[in-house]
Amino acid sequence: MGRLVILGGGESGVGTALLGKEQGYDVFVSDKGVIKEKYKQVLIHNEIEWEDEKHSEDKILNADIVMKSPGIPDKVPLVKQIHDKGILVVSEIEFASKFTSATIVGITGSNGKTTTASLTHHILKQELNVGLAGNIGDSFAKQVLEENFENYVLEISSFQLDDIVDFKPHIGVITNITPDHLDRYNYQFERYIASKFRITMNQTKDDYLIYDADDTVIVNHLKNNPVQSTLLPFSLTKKIGNGAYLDDNNIKITINNNQIIMPTTKLTLQGKHNMKNAMAASTVSHLLRIRKQTIRESLGNFQGVEHRLEHVLKINKVQYINDSKATNVNATYYALECADTPTVWIVGGEDKGNDYEELFSFVNEKVKAIICLGVDNEKLMKTFGGMVDVIVETQFMSEAVKIAYKITEAGDSVLLSPACASFDLFESYEDRGRQFKNAVRNL
């Protein structure tokens, strides 16, 4: 089959290595950082050659195909060299999709991907044989190798879409597009938008694109760059012929005259954004002929996603909410929009070129104090200093939670919704969320 070199020895890298070996490739895994012990053991056990804390060019530039981890930007010199040699660079979803004939539902967007993917999987698994992969759970490649799923729900980032060639989901979903990760796209929003739309690149009229018709960015892009796919929009504001919309307190979904009606009061996840996530997931399920009753029941018993507006504990009548997954401004917008009590807001981290302006009205109206939790909080202090009576900074989660505890009164909420990446102080947004939950439990 040829030589497969994998850059990055994490979940997707090791999964691809296993699938590649099974398919007869000569596989080499290279990671500039340290490969986690559990992944090292898998590679050793499967007799796959690997290295970490370095990239040996002589073992990489002789590849026939390179699978690179989504975290590695194209502007890295090694990746440039690989491209210059004309070696094909692909993402895990591109590589793995070659070895399965399963029906693929691909979900991308700036926010709501994980919730929509988890909810879609939750509904589909009631009646179908279906895996959940991509940015979530076990690696897609590993599941293609080990499981016999006939369907997959994949949560897909723009970075993974940047490295597809033939990848084609039968059903594509774009939840929304707001400025995020602009540091990877030369701060050009257009490039980031085009990257998300690569999900439709290989689709034909027999495939579907489900998208938010209230999102002007998506609507304008579709106008100027028509796609081949059959369109199924969803909206909270307009009436939709084919697709989903809100009619009073009911979600109505129509596909080729087949309609399903669901009362929004039955949704376990509240908030406008979750109504949209429910519309997207239900449209997918309706397309794949899941029974209407199953869809309704599943929407009514779905538990939500860890680190996404997760209610941790109530202490002295103060609710602590973990929204560590809010790694951009738009995600925090949803969190503050949902807030219905005076809020102490913990914010900050690695800024990706954030513009906080859309949060101003919520901050003025709902936020009583701000705790900046980051290595560099200057921008936050400058932006919000004049808006709240109390604004403090810290670099320790335990301290942030203690300060919040001191300044809250009965009936308040404490919201961790950072609007930033976590890598300045934490390993990941999960690590940040867990530290928050531990600190709250230790109060």
**Tokens describing residue 242:** 């084919």
Mean pLDDT over residues 49-53, rounded?
Answer: 96
User: Could you report how far apart the first and last alpha carbons of the chain are, in Å?
Assistant: 57
How do residues 31-43 score in pLDDT, each as one tens digit? 999 999 999 999 9
The answer to whether residues 133 and 95 touch, using CB atoms and an 8 Å cutoff, is no
Average pLDDT over residues 193-198: 94
Confidence of residue 93 (pLDDT cuts 50, 70, 90): very high
Per-residue pLDDT at 366: 96
Look at residue 191 in the predicted model and tell me its pLDDT: 86
Residues in the chain: 443
Name the band, by pLDDT with cuts 50, 70 and 90, for residue 187.
confident
pLDDT at 244: 96
Does 137 have pLDDT greater than 80? yes
For residue 46, how many other CB atoms are within 10 A of its CB? 13
Which of 63, 9, 71 is CA-nearest to residue 40?
A: 9
pTM of the model: 0.84
Place of tokens 């302006």: 357
385 token code pair: 């200093």
| Residue 13 clears pLDDT 70, i.e. is over it | yes
Phi-psi region of 77 (alpha: psi -120 to 50; beta: other; left: phi over 0): alpha
* Tokens linked to 148: 């016999």
pLDDT tens figures, 384-435: 999 999 999 999 999 999 999 999 999 999 999 999 999 899 999 999 999 9
Residues 6+ apart with CB under 8 A from 125: none
Does residue 270 carry a pLDDT above 80? no
Mean pLDDT for the stretch of residues 321-336: 92
Mean per-residue pLDDT for 8-27? 96
Q: Please give the pLDDT value at position 353.
A: 83
Per the annotation, does 115 bind a ligand?
yes
Domain boundaries, the chain: 3-90, 94-301, 310-441
Say if residue 185's pLDDT is above 80.
Answer: no
Say whether pLDDT at 114 is over 80.
yes
**Sheet of strand 49-52: strand arrangement:** 49-52, 26-31, 3-7, 65-68, 88-90
Percent of the chain topping pLDDT 90: 84
Q: Is 111 annotated as a binding residue?
A: yes
Instruction: Provide the pLDDT confidence category of residue 135 given band limits of 50, 70 and 90.
Output: confident
**236 vs 271, residue with greater confidence:** 236
Least-confidence region, from 18-27, 165-174, 178-187: 178-187
What digits encode the pLDDT tens for the residues 275-327?
999 999 999 999 999 999 999 999 999 988 889 899 999 999 999 999 999 99
| Average pLDDT of every residue of the chain | 94
pLDDT digits (tens, 9 = 90+) for 355-370: 999 999 999 999 999 9
What pLDDT is attached to residue 184? Answer: 75
What is the reported pLDDT for 182? 72
Beta-bridge partners for 26: 3
Write the CB contacts of 181 (distance below 8 Å, at least 6 apart in sequence): 158, 159, 192, 352
**Phi, psi at 366, each rounded to 5°:** -120, -25
- Tell me if the domain spanning 94-301 has CATH number 3.40.1190.10: yes
Please state which of the ranges 86-100, 174-188, 379-393, 399-413 shows the lowest mean pLDDT.
174-188
Q: What pLDDT sits at residue 352?
A: 79
Distance CA 317, CA 296 (A): 33
**Is 433 a known ligand-binding residue?**
no
CATH number belonging to domain 3-90: 3.40.50.720
Written as six digits, the tokens of 155 are 């949560």
pLDDT reading at 181 higher than 70: no
Mean pLDDT within 69-87: 92
Assigned CATH class of 310-441: alpha beta
pLDDT at 14 over 90: yes
